[in-house]
Amino acid sequence: MIQQAWQYMLDYPDKMLGWTWQHLQIVLIANAVAVVLGVLIGTWVSGKGREQIADGVIYAASILMTIPSLALFGILMGILYAMSLPSIGMLPVVIALTLYGLLPIIRNTHTALREVDPAMIEAGRGMGMSGLQLLLKVKMPLAVPVILAGLRQAMVMNIGIAAIGSYLGAGGLGQPIFRGLANYRKDLVLAGAIAVSVLAVVTDLVMASVERLVTPKGIRIGRRP
Amino acid sequence: MIRLEHVTKVFPDGTEAVKDLSLEISQGEFCVFLGPSGCGKTTSLKMINRLIPITRGKILIDGVDTQKRNVNELRRDVGYAIQSIGLFPHLTVAQNIATVPLLKRWPRDRQRKRAQELLDLVGMPPDTFMDRYPSELSGGQQQRVGVARCLGADPPILLMDEPFGAIDPITRHKLQEEFLKIQERLQKTIAFVTHDIDEAIKMGDTIALMKDGELVQYADPATLLAEPKDRFVRDFVGADRVLKGLRLLRARDVMRPPKLTLRVDETVERAIRLLDERRRSWIPAVEENGRFVGWIEREDLESASSLAEALTPAVSTAAPRTPLNEALSMMLGSATGSVAVLDDADLLVGLLSFGAIREVLAMDDESEDG
């Protein structure tokens, strides 16, 4: 059976690549928005005196995560329809994936910024750094690897969820899966499933090396045994 | 010059951490804030660079009210070093040291040159250390970089919160000595927090001893040791305060000039005659050019054919700036009961004996009675 799926991929490489590219596009757009929003929100809530807001935001984001994807798609379709925006296709899927991606990014940003050694913050402030300088020159460089770990988690997760988005006509690798299910074509289902899995694994590996690249050298050295 | 006028700090929970503190640290003075934990010494320090806001009173630096200045500019003009150092792990040693110069927008090459100078100053070869990261340094080296960083933009005032607290005693001792040498040269106005009485006595020109947010005694170390104002000061300073007083004095203060010396190329007979005449059992030996080489003991001379053969090299020698407590322990380890004081060229400039130190201790005893 795997052979049949393999055969399908070999026979229709253009189709497979097209779906993969669509799939990747959806995930990239959604996570690009999520990382911008997530870092902004995460940075804001980790400010002084916003501990309670932070708890609330992270709680809300984790509740979002518990909504099953199909249900979230449905809710978003309703909202978009009411706003007379396109309620099927890419838009609701991208929005849903953005929402799903927020939690790991907000949480990691918040944790990373909060866990910067207080001694460094005291030293920085004592030497006359403004709040913004402290954030950009000290806290952020130290937090970026952790934030990227959150993004990596979000992307891998979203690659899986995006497959379901094909149900709404967003395209992507969900398409061969759903089409195969409908027509009892196991080779199609498998071809889609394998492609989604490979995409997820490759994305994970790529993000892992990006993470390593952006980790400041001084910290990488420190981690060495 | 730093001037605290009736400074009071009440924290939001109602604790009065500092109560009506007034004191003045003059230009080039090394002032140590000393006291048990929770006495308000660190709070007082942090109010100077406004890391902690003042509740009442005011602090003036060179006559200017710190409240009237832009807080970040104020802090860039006041060096700050803390016990936990807080080096930035993602920046190199040079970048860490140039933190304030960077904030002050110095040109890049000037920042680097400054980092180089300061590494030299704290005894770390710049070529080796400039481009290393903090995680590649030992604890002592990190402390040195911390000190270098607080001198970054050459501020006239330094605030130091137990900067040598987190290191082993041997390294701490070394860093203290080195920092004193640096201070001798730079003449910064320093406010320095410690809970270690020994450190306070060793480092401070003046000591502000605090308790429960109040200034108990503000005096130079000798006065604090000799005339503790009350029971608290006496207890805090410790029962061994007379011995502690020894470290305030240096070898040069009590040494006596070497009246009698022998040159190693003289004859054994002359040495025996000299020692017997003066009823001495030993005598310091020097070379022709005055360099100290060791001790000649009377009993070794009987069987010796030359003075060089009878020579006992000194186990340890002192320098004119050696604190007396160290000289005393050298004395205890020396066979003759004396310590030779040598200058940089190893020339014999003086001798230290128990007698001389006993006189100093006796002086202290008198002041205690009075």
Under the banding of pLDDT at 50, 70 and 90, the label for residue B129 is: very high
Beta-carbon contacts of residue B131 (< 8 Å; ≥ 6 apart): B92, B93, B94
Listed by number, the residues of chain B in 148-187 with a beta carbon closer than 8 Å to a beta carbon of chain A are 149-150, 152, 159
Q: Is A117 exposed, middle or buried (0-12, 13-18, 19+ CB in 10 A)?
A: middle
Pairwise CB contact (< 8 Å): A123 & B86: yes
In a domain, B238, yes or no: yes
- One-letter identity of residue A70: L
Distance (Å) from the alpha carbon of A21 to chain B's nearest alpha carbon: 37
pLDDT tens-digit profile of B218-257? 999 888 888 888 889 988 887 677 777 777 788 888 888 8
Partners of residue B92 in chain A, C-beta under 8 Å: 218
**What mean pLDDT comes out for the span A173-189?**
92
Structure-model confidence comparison of residues B369 and A59, the more confident one: A59
State the total domains in chain B. 2
Q: Can you tell me the distance from the alpha carbon of B300 to that of B303, in angstroms, rounded to the nearest whole number?
A: 6
In a domain, B122, yes or no: yes
Residues B220 and B268 in one domain: no
**What mean pLDDT comes out for the span B271-282?**
86
Residue B368 confidence (pLDDT): 43
**What mean pLDDT comes out for the span B22-47?**
94
In a domain, B41, yes or no: yes
pLDDT tens-digit profile of B139-168? 889 999 999 999 999 999 999 999 998 788
Under the banding of pLDDT at 50, 70 and 90, the label for residue A222 is: low
Whole-number percent of chain B with pLDDT over 70: 97
Under the banding of pLDDT at 50, 70 and 90, the label for residue A223 is: low
Residues B223 and B272 in one domain: no
Kindly report the three-state secondary structure assignment for every residue of A99-124.
Answer: HHHHHHHHHHHHHHHHCCCHHHHHHH
Mean model confidence pLDDT for chain A? 92
pTM, 2 dp? 0.77
**What mean pLDDT comes out for the span A130-149?**
94
Residues in chain A: 225
For residue B118 the two structure tokens come to 């300061």
Q: Can you tell me the distance from the alpha carbon of B286 to that of B347, in angstroms, rounded to the nearest whole number?
A: 8
**What mean pLDDT comes out for the span A193-222?**
91
Pairwise CB contact (< 8 Å): A126 & B80: yes
pLDDT tens-digit profile of A39-93? 999 999 998 889 999 999 999 999 998 999 999 999 999 999 999 988 888 999 9
The DSSP code for A134 is I
Residue B330 confidence (pLDDT): 84
**What mean pLDDT comes out for the span B92-103?**
96
Residue A68 confidence (pLDDT): 92
Residues B305 and B168 in one domain: no
In a domain, B369, yes or no: no
Residue B363 confidence (pLDDT): 60
**What mean pLDDT comes out for the span B303-318?**
84
Nearest neighbour of A126 by CB, restricted to B51, B73, B136:
B51
Nearest neighbour of A130 by CB, restricted to B72, B84, B100:
B72
**What mean pLDDT comes out for the span B291-315?**
85
C-alpha A206: how far from chain center? 14
Pairwise CB contact (< 8 Å): A128 & B136: no
Pairwise CB contact (< 8 Å): B89 & A218: yes
Partners of residue A128 in chain B, C-beta under 8 Å: 71-77, 100, 103
Strands laid side by side in the B262-263 sheet: B262-263, B282-286, B292-297, B311-312
Structure-model confidence comparison of residues A218 and A151, the more confident one: A151
Residue B369 confidence (pLDDT): 40
Handedness of CA B158, B161, B167, B169 (dihedral sign): positive
pLDDT at A33 over 50: yes
- Among candidate residues B248, B280, B306, the one where a domain is terminated: B248
Partners of residue A123 in chain B, C-beta under 8 Å: 80, 82, 85-88, 149
CB pairs under 8 A between A and B: 83
Partners of residue B152 in chain A, C-beta under 8 Å: 127
Under the banding of pLDDT at 50, 70 and 90, the label for residue B100 is: very high
Partners of residue A138 in chain B, C-beta under 8 Å: 88
Residues B186 and B284 in one domain: no
**What mean pLDDT comes out for the span B359-369?**
56
Angle between helices B354-369 and B324-332 (to 10 degrees): 130
For residue A185 the two structure tokens come to 């074509």
Partners of residue A218 in chain B, C-beta under 8 Å: 88-92, 133-135
Residues B267 and B174 in one domain: no
Partners of residue A142 in chain B, C-beta under 8 Å: 89-90
pLDDT tens-digit profile of A8-31? 888 999 999 999 999 999 999 999
Residues B196 and B79 in one domain: yes
Residues B193 and B121 in one domain: yes
Under the banding of pLDDT at 50, 70 and 90, the label for residue B367 is: very low
- Among candidate residues B226, B248, B270, the one where a domain is terminated: B248
Q: Can you tell me the distance from the alpha carbon of B8 to that of B16, in angstroms, rounded to the nearest whole number?
A: 8
Interchain contact B80–A (C-beta under 8 A): yes
Q: Of B64, B99, B361, nearest to B242 (Cα)?
A: B361
In a domain, B169, yes or no: yes
Q: Which of A41-45, B92-96, B293-297 has the lowest mean pLDDT?
A: B293-297
Interchain contact A1–B (C-beta under 8 A): no
Q: Give the CATH number, domain containing residue B278.
A: 3.10.580.10
Partners of residue B80 in chain A, C-beta under 8 Å: 123, 126-127
Residue B366 confidence (pLDDT): 47
Interchain contact A142–B (C-beta under 8 A): yes
Residue B364 confidence (pLDDT): 52
Listed by number, the residues of chain B in 214-273 with a beta carbon closer than 8 Å to a beta carbon of chain A are none
Residues B70 and B178 in one domain: yes
Listed by number, the residues of chain A in 80-139 with a beta carbon closer than 8 Å to a beta carbon of chain B are 117, 119-130, 133, 137-138
pLDDT at B275 over 90: no
pLDDT at B296 over 50: yes
ipTM: 0.84
Residue A100 confidence (pLDDT): 94
Residues B243 and B301 in one domain: no
Under the banding of pLDDT at 50, 70 and 90, the label for residue B298 is: confident
Under the banding of pLDDT at 50, 70 and 90, the label for residue B356 is: confident
In a domain, B292, yes or no: yes
Residue B370 confidence (pLDDT): 34
Residues B212 and B318 in one domain: no
What domains, with CATH codes, occur in chain A? 14-44+52-113+129-215 (1.10.3720.10)
Report residue B16: phi and psi, to 5°: -95, 95
Structure-model confidence comparison of residues A2 and A150, the more confident one: A150
Under the banding of pLDDT at 50, 70 and 90, the label for residue B262 is: confident
Range of the domain at B348: 252-360
- Among candidate residues B248, B273, B288, the one where a domain is terminated: B248
Mean model confidence pLDDT for chain B? 89
Residues B209 and B306 in one domain: no
pLDDT at B365 over 60: no
Partners of residue B100 in chain A, C-beta under 8 Å: 127-128
Residue B317 confidence (pLDDT): 87
Q: Give the CATH number, domain containing residue B224.
A: 3.40.50.300
Interchain contact B138–A (C-beta under 8 A): no
Residues B258 and B188 in one domain: no
CB atoms within 10 A of CB B80: 31
Q: Can you tell me the distance from the alpha carbon of B254 to that of A14, in angstroms, rounded to the nearest whole number?
A: 96
> Which site among A122, A127, A129, A142 would you substitute to test the B interface, given the most B Cβ atoms closer than 10 Å to its Cβ?
A127
Listed by number, the residues of chain A in 32-71 with a beta carbon closer than 8 Å to a beta carbon of chain B are none
Partners of residue B86 in chain A, C-beta under 8 Å: 117, 119-124
In a domain, B120, yes or no: yes
In a domain, B9, yes or no: yes
Residue B265 confidence (pLDDT): 85
Pairwise CB contact (< 8 Å): A117 & B87: no
